[in-house]
């Protein structure tokens, strides 16, 4: 089910499957955009909720949109602001009109409606923008809430489409909801598919649900979306999760994990255990780069031993590991993509998993997910 494709956006052509690093506040932690260009990153994320507050719509408009403001010439994707509101705000009340919440900055009452979300996202000017959806935490036990949410999501999509005045410059993606119920998911996907949209996102996951459920729902959601449009699984993530989702038919991913973990001195690698905690004393005399096969500027110029002396102490250490971690994720996606194109994806997955789990004690959920699409791992 894995696919590789070229997605042409106003600011760049993106080759999928693709991982999108997250530059929450209009910047990727300490990284100059040109450095991302050097890694051949074609698209990154920014958060509407944060940017809508600071610097705010007015400044962004005056600055000519976020691309110009932050000096990033390639593509951007913005989320709707909905998720942060629910997760960051202490008091949120969701009504048919929109989301009523208390600003964490000054406690004032704000309302985010589908129309308002589109307005802010248009001021930002991202190549891809997300609808405002009614997102419910996947661990919620109230089935009625999920039912209400997925119907409202469809209604809000229509309001977003109505409010969107620049479909030629910005692509609006709907988000499939429906909690952890396959039927609800299928129905939601069907509804969204009826609208004329350029791509789809699968949301409401990456919360507290267990991994096998997660895979089941991603599979069902992807299966019921048209083949000829991109599928974006929001908030994914760790290496194995990404590859599993690719196997299940997804194309786009985003997660703060690589850049967040860099701040704590953790570097991503392909071999077991998948992450190097560079603060650990075992790296004191390790004069190898993080990854001998990586051509990022960190691996070209610095050793693990050096990074061991500076991580969590000097800000530039965070930049160095972030650059590597983004490079790693992009390389992972490129390897997956090349394998798909050469029709060797199952072999790629088998090797990828073996490198991470040399003792072959693969996580059950992953093994099952791969088996479900006809990929067997090495025993």
In the list 7, 22, 41, 70, the residue contacting other proteins (rule: CB under 8 A) is 70
- Please, which residue, 33 or 82, has the CB nearer to other proteins? 33
Which phi and psi angles does 111 have, rounded to 5°? -130, 125
Residues 305-344, mask of contacts with other proteins (x by CB under 8 A): xx--xx--xxxxxxxx--x---------------------
- # binding residues, other proteins (CB under 8 A): 42
Q: In which order are the strands placed within the sheet that holds 109-112?
A: 92-94, 99-102, 109-112
In terms of Cβ atoms closer than 10 Å to its own Cβ (0-12, 13-18, 19+), residue 126 is buried
β-partners of residue 253 are: 19, 233
Helices (H), 224-279: 239-247, 257-263
Q: Print the binding letters for residues 267-306 with other proteins: x by CB under 8 A, - otherwise.
A: -----------------xx-x---------xx--xxx-xx
Q: Are 202 and 234 in contact (CB under 8 A)?
A: yes
Q: Which is nearer to other proteins, 284 or 360 (CB)?
A: 284
The single residue among 5, 11, 12, 27 that binds other proteins, judged by CB under 8 A, is 27
Answer for the pair 258, 322: CB distance below 8 angstroms, yes or no: yes
Directed axis angle between helix 143-163 and helix 182-193, to 10°?
Answer: 10
| Residue 6 bears catalytic tag | no
- Name which of 285 and 341 has its Cβ closer to other proteins: 285
Give the residue, chosen from 1, 10, 12, 25, that forms a contact with other proteins under the rule CB under 8 A.
Answer: 25
At 358, list the tokens.
Answer: 């040399």
Instruction: Report residue 351 as tokens.
Output: 């090797």
What H or E segment, with its residue span, contains residue 102? strand 99-102
286 annotated active-site: no
Q: How far is the CB of 316 from other proteins (least distance, A)?
A: 4
Residue of 40, 79, 181, 355 marked active site: 79
As measured in angstroms, the least distance from the Cβ of 335 to other proteins is: 23
Output 315 or 358, the one with its CB closest to other proteins.
Answer: 315
Q: Which residue among 127, 133, 241, 254 is the active-site one?
A: 254
Q: For 216-244, give one letter per residue: b (16+ CB within 10 A) or e.
A: bbbbbbbebbeeeebbbbbbbbbbbbbbb
| Residues binding other proteins (CB under 8 A) | 25-32, 34-35, 38, 50, 54-55, 58-59, 62-63, 69-71, 284-285, 287, 297-298, 301-303, 305-306, 309-310, 313-320, 323
Q: Which residues are catalytic?
A: 79, 254
């Amino acid at each position: 089910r894995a696919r590789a494709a070229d997605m042409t956006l106003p600011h760049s052509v993106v080759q999928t499957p693709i991982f999108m690093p997250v530059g929450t506040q209009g910047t990727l932690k300490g990284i100059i955009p040109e450095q991302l260009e050097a890694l051949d990153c074609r698209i990154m994320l920014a958060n509407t909720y944060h940017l809508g507050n600071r610097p705010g719509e007015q400044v962004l408009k005056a600055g000519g949109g976020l691309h110009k403001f932050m000096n990033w010439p390639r593509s951007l994707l913005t989320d709707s602001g909905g998720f942060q509101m629910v997760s960051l705000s202490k008091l949120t009340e969701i009504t048919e009109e929109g989301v009523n919440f208390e600003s964490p900055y000054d406690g004032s009452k704000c309302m985010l409606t589908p129309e308002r979300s589109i307005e802010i996202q248009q001021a930002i000017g991202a190549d891809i923008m997300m609808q405002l959806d009614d997102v419910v935490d996947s661990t919620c036990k109230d089935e009625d809430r999920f039912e209400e949410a997925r119907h409202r999501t469809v209604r809000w999509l229509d309001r977003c489409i109505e409010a969107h005045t620049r479909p030629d410059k910005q692509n609006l993606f709907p988000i499939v909801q429906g909690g952890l119920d396959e039927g609800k998911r299928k129905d939601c996907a069907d509804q969204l598919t009826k609208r004329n949209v350029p791509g789809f996102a699968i949301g409401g996951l990456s919360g507290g649900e267990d991994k096998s459920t997660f895979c089941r729902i991603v599979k069902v959601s992807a299966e019921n979306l048209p083949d000829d449009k991109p599928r974006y699984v929001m908030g994914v993530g760790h290496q194995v999760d990404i590859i599993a989702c690719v196997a299940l038919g997804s194309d786009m991913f985003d997660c703060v994990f690589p850049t967040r973990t860099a701040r704590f001195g953790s570097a991503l690698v392909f071999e077991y255990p998948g992450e190097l905690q560079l603060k650990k004393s075992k790296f004191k005399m390790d004069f190898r780069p993080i990854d001998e096969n990586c051509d990022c500027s960190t691996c070209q110029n610095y050793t693990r031993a050096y990074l061991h002396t500076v991580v969590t102490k000097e800000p530039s250490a965070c930049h160095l590991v972030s650059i590597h971690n983004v490079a790693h994720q992009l390389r992972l996606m490129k390897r997956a993509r090349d394998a798909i194109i050469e029709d060797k994806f199952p072999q790629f997955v088998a090797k990828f998993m073996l490198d991470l789990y040399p003792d072959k004690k693969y996580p059950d959920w992953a093994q099952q997910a791969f088996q479900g699409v006809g990929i067997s791992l090495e025993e």
